[in-house]
Each structure stands twice: as structure tokens, then as C-alpha cells.
Structure 1
């Protein structure tokens, strides 16, 4: 009898934790969002996020709140002796949190750490040819997103991207779009959507647009969306996200269905900022 009571107590404690923990997290995040945003932080973001002055006052306030939660919950690690500065943290957080303005309430839940290199970094890459030939080589990278808990970026590339906002290339937007895609554990170009009915239209539009990009790349046709998006559906979503935020007018003109799909997902209309 005592054993049964203990089991019920344990179950009750577990259920209580499941119900209470999300409430505590929400309260903590609300406190972080309501903290005063310093003038120093304002200045850094204005200097490193060109689109910031064009956001509405409400969007700026929401972005500031998300940045404070992001900074409190994520760890920043400098690699190969790089000293992480407040400018680095705020710049990365501001770019990443643009993707969170739709207020879905999640902060890249799988992500724990952002690793920052001064420039490009080398990794071992293994490629399988056929069934028997394996090639291993050292390749330079500027960023990557891991399914488990890390995003890696090159600070020099981050700075280059912020100084050239309208070129459609942004390593932070790209890698954090991968984080959204990987939220369910897989990178397939399909993030967690708001409603079940959204998946049908997402699959239709994204498949058509991805195939069009692949055909355009094969035929050497100039495209608004970077050709790297033709690598696979996961890269297409990440590259399309870069284009959506940095070249919204061109995307809306050339790819209206894709723009509408991303506008619905992100609950934003970057054309208004332009």
C-alpha cells in the first residue's frame, strides 16, 4: 500500500512539474522583456542592424524584449582565443530575434550555445561516392547549425552581412532559420507551422518554388534567391528566409506565392520596412 502511495506521489510531482515549469519560464521571460533597454544597446543595434530604424515602435519594443530573453538563455563562446564582446552578442541576438517577432513564444528551444570564430573556420567533411568510395577533406565554413544544441558563425561574415543588408546574404538569418527547421529534430525545410492545415499549402508552394530554383540554376538563369538554395529543401528554406528579410520587394515581385507563404509563417511584412 505504501509503495502504491509513493508511486502516486511521484506521478503527481511529475505532472505538477510539467504544468508549472512552463508557467515559471513564461513569467521569467516576461520579467526579462520588461527590463529597461539601455541607450548603449540601442546604439549597438542601430549600428549593426540596418533594418532596425524602419521597424515600427511596437516591433522595436518586441525585438528588444526578445533580445533580452535570448541573451539570458543562450551561451556565447569565442573560439580560438576570440574574446566575445557585447557588440557581438547584441548583433547576433538582434538578427536572430527578427525571426521571433511572430510571437510564437519559443526561443530556438534546442539551441544552447553560439560559437563565434573571428573568420572562416576549417572542418573535416566526409563525402560518400557510390557504395565504396569515401572522400574526406578539409573545408572552410562561415556558419552552420547543429540539430542538437549549437550554432557556429564567423564574426567577420556577420559584420560583412550587416554592412551589406540588401544583398540577400545573412549568415545569422540563415543558420537560425535552420534552427527553426530543426525544432522537430529534422532539417527538411519544414518548420513547425501554426496550424495543421498550413502544411498542405506549405508543401505545395515550397516544392514548386524549390523545383523552379533548381531548374533556373541548371539553365544558368539569374535568380532573386541565391543558387545555394537549390542544394536541398532545408537550404532552400534558409536561403529563402534570407531573401525574404533582405530583398522583400524583389521576392514579392518575382515569387509572390513564396513571399506570401513566408509572410504568413513569420507574421511579418518586410516590404513595409523597405
Structure 2
């Protein structure tokens, strides 16, 4: 066979191998959104009905992209079904509305437990002594392309979308945070000026939350946000979507930063 023909065939094969997954993804995104998925979102995501039509259509496309590109795995005997997949995808994709995104490009798998799961921990104290223990967790975002969730708390958080607690919003905020290279409370913001403004507002609000907790003051933001900057961003994201009016009233600058980043104003959905 002619050498040039062999080269052409190899190149064509490479192009085809690269093109087929893209065509399948495009087909998945453009396919009609199933009525059973709509029913799941209406049942498990109360704000879905309040979204403007254009945002609902965006959400449909993002959910189909998410479901096509992420693998779900049931753990501890749990069998993952469409309700679980669509509920998790729907909440996670709320964070992507109106934004140019590849839909959590570093994420490959979602591990779903029926309830709180044990995660091993290693700690080293000031004297260098290493200790091992296990924590009960409701969710966790890992840097290796996995998110772990407890389904009973996914259900609890999705159906009460006003209490400021939502494990899916929390863990997927961590995924966005990690896209900038590490979980430090500052996701990809696009410019130095944006980072400077973000750092100023978030540092002030983080210190303020710690001070309020130290003095036993009531807070809109969950106390867990005072743990470190990464947890503060995740908790602030939960509050932004679930308690937007309270947050805007009591933490106006923080709310505005999150509104610029997420490019939506959840107060319009209440």
C-alpha cells in the first residue's frame, strides 16, 4: 500500500476517534429533554418551576451534558436510579447557568452512598505524632475527579431549598474552586482585578464570620464556613442560592461578588 495512503488512513482514523465522542455529546445535548426528567426536577428541585424559561432550557442542556459525561456509582449496596442522577445533576448545574463552561471538566465520577459514610483521616500533631481516625461525612469533593454524596442528605437539601444547607451545592462549589488549581476559596475569576476585589471582600467576610461565631452572634452563613477559605466559599454558595434575600441584606458585598461570579440573581426566583 502506498505510504501516503497509509498516512492518510491513520490520520483519518485519529480524526474519527476524536470526532465520534464529540458527535455523541452533541446529540445528547440536543436531544429532547425527557418528560420524566422534568417530573424529577419539579419534585426534587423546588426552584425549578420558578426559573425563567431560558434558564430552564439552559439547565436542561447542562443536565444532559452532565449525565452524558459523568459516571454514577452506588456504594454500600445502593442502586443508583434516574431520580438520583437527575436530582444531583440538576442541582450541580444550577452553578453553571449563564456561564461559559465545559461542565466540570475534571470531574469523572459521582459516588453515591445511601447515608453518611466513613472517610479515613490522618492527622499529625505539633510533636509529629501521627493518628488515624474516621469521620462521618455527608459529602466530599476529591481532587482526583470524584465527588462523594450521601443520598438521604441530597434529598433533604434539595426539597428544602431555603435552609442554607445543600450538600450538592457545597461539594460542587468545591469542584469549581479546584478548577483554578487548588481549593483555596478563589475559583477562576478571569482577571487580576477580579481576584483583587474577590480577595478583599472574601477575606473581610471570612474574618467577620469567625468573629461573630467567637462572640456567639447569630449568622446567616453556616458556622462551618469559618473552617477555612475553601469551606467559606462553599458555604457562601449554599447561602447565595438558598437564602439570597437574607444574604443580600446582611452581606451585600459578598452577595454582589457571588452574583457576578455565578451570573444569576436567585432573589428573582424566590
Is the pair's TM-score, using the shorter chain for normalization, greater than 0.5?
A: yes
CA distance in 1, matches of 2:203, 2:255: 14
Residue 57 of structure 1: aligned partner? 53
Deviation at 1:126, TM superposition (A): 1.7
Residue 114 of structure 2: aligned partner? 118
Residue 196 of structure 1: aligned partner? 192
CA distance in 2, matches of 1:117, 1:55: 29
Tell me the SS of whatever aligns to 1:200.
helix
2:174 to 178, 182, 205: 178
Residue 4 of structure 1: aligned partner? none
Q: Is residue 98–residue 264 contact of structure 2 (8 Å, CA) maintained in 1?
A: yes
Q: Is residue 122–residue 138 contact of structure 1 (8 Å, CA) maintained in 2?
A: yes
Tell me the SS of whatever aligns to 2:162.
helix
Q: Pairwise mapping of residues 220-259 of structure 1 onto structure 2 (< 5 A)? A: 220-259=216-255
Residue 104 of structure 1: aligned partner? 100
Runs of 4+ in structure 1 over 6 Å off: 23-27
- CA, structure 1 residues 141+174, in 2 after alignment: closer, same or farther (shift >3 Å)? same
Deviation at 1:125, TM superposition (A): 1.3
Deviation at 1:38, TM superposition (A): 1.5
Cα-to-partner distance string for 1:63-98 (whole Å, 9 max, x where unaligned) = 000000000000000001210000000000000000
CA distance in 2, matches of 1:135, 1:218: 28
Residue 269 of structure 1: aligned partner? 265
**Greater Cα offset, 74-83 or 97-106:** 97-106
2:68 to 69, 72, 78: 72
Runs (5+) with no aligned partner, structure 2: 1-6
CA distance in 2, matches of 1:265, 1:30: 26
Residue 79 of structure 2: aligned partner? 83
Q: Is residue 120–residue 142 contact of structure 1 (8 Å, CA) maintained in 2?
A: yes
Q: How many residues were matched structurally? A: 258
Q: Is residue 46–residue 52 contact of structure 1 (8 Å, CA) maintained in 2?
A: yes
Asked if 1:207 is matched to 2:203, the reply is yes
Residue 6 of structure 1: aligned partner? none
Residue 45 of structure 1: aligned partner? 41
Cα-to-partner distance string for 1:25-44 (whole Å, 9 max, x where unaligned) = 77655443321011111101
Cα-to-partner distance string for 1:32-60 (whole Å, 9 max, x where unaligned) = 33210111111011001111001000000
Q: Is residue 147–residue 185 contact of structure 1 (8 Å, CA) maintained in 2?
A: no
CA distance in 1, matches of 2:25, 2:191: 24
CA distance in 2, matches of 1:266, 1:55: 15
Deviation at 1:132, TM superposition (A): 1.8
CA distance in 2, matches of 1:189, 1:229: 11
Q: Is residue 183–residue 230 contact of structure 2 (8 Å, CA) maintained in 1?
A: yes
Runs (5+) with no aligned partner, structure 1: 1-8
Instruction: Give the TM-score of the pair, scaled to structure 2.
Output: 0.90
RMSD: 2.0
CA distance in 2, matches of 1:107, 1:253: 31
